[in-house]
Amino acid sequence: MLFRLVKALTALTTGLLAGAFGYGVVNVVYAFHAVPVPVRLTFHAALMQVNGVVMQALMGLTLLSTLALAVMAAGVPRLLAAASAALVLTTFLITRFGNVPLHPLVEKWAVTSPPPGYAAVLDRWEMFNLIRTGTVLTAFALVVLLLVTSERRRPPGAKG
pLDDT tens for the chain, residues 1 to 160: 899 999 999 999 999 999 999 999 999 999 999 999 999 999 999 999 888 899 999 999 999 999 999 999 999 999 999 999 999 999 999 999 999 999 999 999 999 999 999 999 999 999 999 999 999 999 999 999 999 988 665 445 444 4
Chain centroid to Cα 124, Å, comes to 18
**Rounded Cα gap, residues 154 and 83, in angstroms:** 27
CA atoms in the 13 A half-sphere facing the CB of 89: 9
Q: How far apart are CA 30 and CA 45, in angstroms?
A: 16
**CATH class of the region 2-149:** mainly alpha
Is the whole model's pTM more than 0.75, yes or no?
A: yes
CB 78 within 8 A of CB 70: yes
- Cα 57–Cα 48–Cα 113 angle in degrees, nearest 5: 165
* Closest-CA residue to 79 (of 22, 26, 142): 142
What's the rounded Cα separation, in Å, for the pair 44 and 34?
A: 13
Helical ranges in the chain per DSSP H? 2-23, 29-34, 37-72, 75-94, 103-111, 118-149
